[in-house]
Amino acid sequence: MAAKKSARKVPAPTLSSKQLGEVTRLLKDLDSVELKVVVPMSDHHATVKKLGIDPVEAEPRQVFFFDTPDFALDKAGVVVRARRIQGGGADTVVKLRPVDPAAVDAELKRSASWKTEADFVPGGYVCSGSMKGKCTGQEVFDAVAGKMPLPDLFSKEQRAFYAKHAPKGIALRSLQAFGPIFLLKARKWSKAIDRRLVLEVWLFPDGSRNLEISTKAEPAELFQVAEDLKAHLTGLGIEITGNQQTKTRAAMEFFRAGLRAKPARRRR
């Protein structure tokens, strides 16, 4: 019997010269940058082993996204999310993407809850502005179950930010919960690149997974850290290939696909 051919892995794209120029301009106005690499699902188990991560030590979390049934927020670049954390804590975010860091209002920049950040993946990047908040895991449960008004889950600053940037006529209280998505988060200090690596595995209800390796850096360090991370992962035999879709984008595409797959109601 002939051996089955393995699927050809397509190398991940790289930033174009135009994108590199844009990034250089943006860096001076960013608070932080995060470099991310998405690993093909067929390589997940091997990647965990190569990084020397103990899955038993991973921190479990749950993520809920909030949007309209037709994903009007997602289309407008607005992300509303709540995340339950092991131990009873939780956090929330109202995020706008993309944003031009140089155009962010000075008052927003002064807020301790605000962050202008950029996520970089092989071949692309996105700048976002995030208004962050804290709550409890029980409050997230209550809001999702309808026992607590959804706006109460978010801070006054977050509600004001949402009202300014959400599509007209879409009230925060009217949003629908999508989720939960269960995830495991593990951290590992890498001596090779002298910084912490974070590994997150998002487990979708249909059995599919998204595994992302990330590390944070100061904006001025971006290009050097990107080279170091790539060399480190390649040296471990971790291939940087295929679709470099971030966790949030993968989650929203999953929920969109679920709605499209629902059968139409029969007419009586």
Q: What are the residue ranges spanned by the domains of the chain?
A: 17-259
Q: What span, in angstroms and rounded, lies between the C-alpha atoms of 84 and 62?
A: 5
CB under 8 Å, gap of 24 or more: what pairs does 76-83 form? 76/165, 76/166, 76/167, 78/162, 78/165, 78/166, 78/167, 79/128, 79/248, 80/162, 80/172, 80/175, 81/248, 82/135, 82/140, 82/143, 82/144, 82/153, 83/140
Q: Is the pLDDT of residue 10 over 80?
A: no
Q: Nearest Cα to 61, choosing from 88, 42, 97, 31?
A: 88
The rounded distance, in Å, linking the Cα atoms of 127 and 134 is: 22
d(CA 150, CA 159): 10
Q: Dump strand ranges (E) for 20-160.
A: 32-39, 59-67, 78-85, 89-96, 114-121, 124-136
- The mean-pLDDT minimum among 38-42, 145-149, 163-167, 186-190 falls in 38-42
- Is a pLDDT exceeding 50 seen at residue 252? yes
Q: Can you tell me the distance from the alpha carbon of 103 to that of 241, in angstroms, rounded to the nearest whole number? A: 34
pLDDT averaged over every residue in the chain = 88
pLDDT of residue 264: 44
Least confident of 16-30, 75-89, 125-139, 236-250: 236-250
Q: What is the pLDDT of residues 186-218, one digit of tens each?
A: 999 999 999 999 999 999 888 888 899 999 999
pLDDT at 239: 79
Kindly report the CA angle at 83 between 77 and 89, in degrees rounded to 5? 145
Task: Determine the 3-state secondary structure of 34 from DSSP.
Answer: strand
Residue 88 in this model has a pLDDT that exceeds 50: yes
Q: pTM for the complete prediction?
A: 0.86
Regarding the domain delimited by 17-259, which CATH topology (the fold level of the hierarchy) does it fall under?
Answer: Hypothetical Protein Pfu-838710-001 (2.40.320)
| Average pLDDT, integer, range 206-233 | 92
Q: Among 143-152, 218-227, 233-242, which range has the highest average pLDDT? A: 143-152
CA distance 9 to 97: 30
The token duo for 21 is: 């120029």
Q: Which of 180, 197, 179 is nearest to 188 (CA)?
A: 197
Q: How far apart are CA 64 and CA 140, in angstroms?
A: 9
CB atoms within 10 A of CB 208: 11
The answer to whether 109 and 130 are in contact (CB under 8 A) is no
Residue at 97: amino acid letter: R
Local structure of residue 49 (DSSP, 8 states): H
Tell me the per-residue pLDDT of 16-72, one tens digit each, with 9 for 90 and over: 778 788 888 889 999 999 999 998 888 899 999 999 998 889 999 999 999 999 999
- Decide which of 14 and 136 is more confident: 136
